[in-house]
């Protein structure tokens, strides 16, 4: 029997782990998954931030809890996966969102800062995807992995930005998504990426201040920055059966910036 659109987008009975979920884009996506019926576990490094975020989700009627972990450390990644599985039983949806950025001219960019960004933004995504797949998704022959990349990974730096490590890492996430989607399709695991443009957040605060929010918004065909709702629809599409035939893909959510810049 063909399901209705409401049934296809329904996540009742599903479970989700969202890294970098205590604020910003991660919390927005956690809202989307929870509002569609999923049980959600949030993770980030700071317990206090996670407590506030979880309280916000619970106030919205979402079954939410949290686990503090540093996704730049192998042992913490393993512990996060194990504790989530112990709590939820299995993981249907993994949102890889934890990330770091660093601003410096390429000729002066510190090597340790390069390593920090690449370690969290790329290696962390790989290791958490690997452990979650091996311990839950592959045995169950089912899973949805959503990687948060960026339009910064689709092209070079706009004038005024000096974020070579971040841009490189997000370009790697796009190809990581393609490759993993191709390899894990045989397990009925879909792997897709979201490439946000500029959204006001703690990570982008410095860039928005330096380049000017109005100026950045003016570069977008839609003449605006992203808001607290703009990732919800795509996240839910990737996570639900409405997107079950989509894998290895990326989509920019940027008000059209990548259209005019050639990303």
Supply the residues annotated as catalytic.
166
Q: Are strands 93-96 and 64-68 parallel, antiparallel or unpaired?
A: unpaired
- In this structure, are strands 143-148 and 189-196 parallel, antiparallel, or unpaired? parallel
Cβ contact 195:252 at 8 Å: yes
3-class secondary-structure state, position 146:
strand
- CA gap 233, 140 in Å, rounded: 26
Look up tokens 């990326």; give the residue: 250
Query: Which residues are registered as beta bridge partners of 192?
Result: 146
Q: Tokens at residue 133, please? A: 């797949």
Please state, in angstroms and as integers, the Cα–Cα distance from residue 105 to each residue in 12, 27, 148, 153, following that order. 47, 31, 24, 17
Contact 36, 8 (CB under 8 A): no
Q: Which residues contact residue 215 at a Cβ distance below 8 angstroms, ignoring those fewer than 6 apart?
A: none
Concatenating the DSSP letter of every residue in 193-244 gives EEEE----STTTHHHHHHH-HHHHHHTSTT-S---TTTTHHHHHHHHSGGGT
State the Rg of the chain over Cα. Answer: 18
């Amino acid at each position: 029997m063909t399901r209705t659109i409401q049934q296809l987008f329904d996540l009742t009975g599903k479970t989700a782990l969202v890294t970098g979920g205590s604020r910003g884009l991660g919390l927005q996506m956690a809202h989307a998954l929870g509002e569609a019926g999923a049980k959600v576990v949030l993770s980030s490094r700071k317990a206090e931030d996670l407590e506030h975020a979880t309280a916000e989700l619970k106030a919205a009627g979402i079954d939410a809890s949290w686990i503090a972990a540093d996704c730049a450390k192998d042992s913490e990644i393993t512990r996060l996966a194990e504790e989530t599985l112990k709590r939820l039983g299995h993981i249907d949806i993994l949102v890889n969102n934890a990330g770091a950025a660093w601003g410096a001219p390429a000729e002066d960019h510190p090597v340790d800062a390069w390593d920090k960004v690449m370690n969290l933004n790329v290696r962390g995504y790989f290791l958490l995807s690997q452990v979650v797949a091996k311990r839950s998704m592959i045995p169950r022959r089912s899973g949805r992995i959503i990687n948060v990349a960026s339009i910064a990974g689709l092209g070079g730096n706009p004038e005024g930005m000096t974020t070579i490590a971040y841009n490189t890492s997000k370009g790697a996430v796009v190809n990581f998504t393609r490759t993993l989607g191709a390899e894990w399709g045989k397990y009925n695991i879909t792997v897709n990426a979201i490439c946000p443009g500029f959204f006001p957040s703690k990570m982008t605060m410095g860039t928005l201040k330096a380049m000017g929010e109005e100026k950045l918004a003016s570069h977008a065909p839609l003449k605006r920055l992203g808001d607290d709702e703009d990732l919800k629809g795509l996240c839910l599409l990737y996570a639900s059966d409405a997107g079950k035939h989509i894998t290895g893909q990326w989509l920019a959510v940027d008000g059209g910036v990548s259209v005019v810049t050639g990303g």
